[in-house]
Chain A
Amino acid sequence: QLQLQQSGPVLVKPSETVSLTCTVSGGPIFTYDYDWGWIRQPPGKGLEWIANIYFNGRPSYNPSLRSRVTISVDTVNNQFSLKLNSVTAADTAVYFCARLKSRDHYFDSWGQGTQVTISS
């Protein structure tokens, strides 16, 4: 059974960079049928799509975050990662990793979420 495992809570200072990793188990990240993505949820608010990446490294970014986000994939270790730079308090959120069915465009498996807090 596919599982997406995320690391524990993160505290970062404003203007610094947040780095998150999602480890995939129970299936290969090297697959033609799926992208791998990140979605975030600020406290008490809704979901916001951040970025996706295909196993060949082809990324897709939310235009509103594109200038600050980098997504990458590591097929050797079955992981994918997100870096968000120049963070502010507005980036405080739970960050979820998820698997996206590429052709049909839905997120069918999710990680448990990582609380990211931006504070000095």
Chain B
Amino acid sequence: QSALTQPASVSGSPGQSITISCTGTSSDVGNYNLVSWYQQYPGKAPNLLISEVTKRPSGVSDRFSGSKSGNTASLTISGLQAEDEADYYCCSYAGGSIFYVFGTGTKVIVL
């Protein structure tokens, strides 16, 4: 199975909002409301930001929000801060034979 498609990089100035897209197919993103998003700093393990498309775990800033339309999920970061500079990955459940597919990853650059 192919990885979900994300832009290689997205940039923005402090205080701005940016959106990262995650495009899959009708077999994964489009078929389940089971997309999660992870933030990863260099040399560190990923950290859960969003589960089930829109749910934010306790402790995650409300500047992070998720949505989905058709086969594309999105992560929006509002009020961009320097500490948001990291890599971001989406992940979708894809059913009983493939199970989990990650996105290609997006590097967020804070200008």
- Which interface residue of B36, B44, B45 has the most chain A CB atoms within 10 A? B45
How many B residues, CB 8 Å from partner?
A: 26
Give A33-76 interface residues, CB cut-off 8 Å to B.
39, 45-49, 52, 60, 62-64
CB < 8 Å: which of A46, A60, A105 contacts B89? A46
A48 touches B1 (CB 8 A): no
- Of the stretches A10-18, A23-31, A77-85, A108-116, the one at the interface is A108-116
B99 touches A46 (CB 8 A): no
CB < 8 Å: which of A46, A105, A110, A111 contacts B100? A105
Per-residue CB proximity of B41-54 to A under 8 Å, as 1/0? Answer: 00011111001100
Contacts of A49 in B (CB 8 A): 91, 99-102
Closest to B92 in A: A105
Is B3 on the interface with A (CB-CB < 8 A)? yes
> What is the CA–CA distance of A49 and B100 in the complex, to the nearest angstrom?
6
Contacts of A32 in B (CB 8 A): none
> What is the CA–CA distance of A102 and B33 in the complex, to the nearest angstrom?
14
A113 touches B45 (CB 8 A): yes
B91 touches A46 (CB 8 A): no
A47 touches B89 (CB 8 A): yes
Q: Give, as a whole number of angstroms, the nearest-CB distance from B11 to chain A.
A: 19
B102 touches A46 (CB 8 A): yes
> What is the CA–CA distance of A28 and B93 in the complex, to the nearest angstrom?
25
- If A63-B1, A96-B45 touch, whether A106 touches B99 (CB-CB below 8 Å) is no
List 8 interface pairs A-B (beta carbons < 8 Å), by A numbering.
A46-B103, A46-B104, A48-B102, A62-B98, A106-B34, A108-B57, A112-B44, A113-B45
Binding site for A on B (CB under 8 A): 1, 3, 32, 34, 36, 38, 44-48, 51-52, 57, 89, 91, 93, 97-105
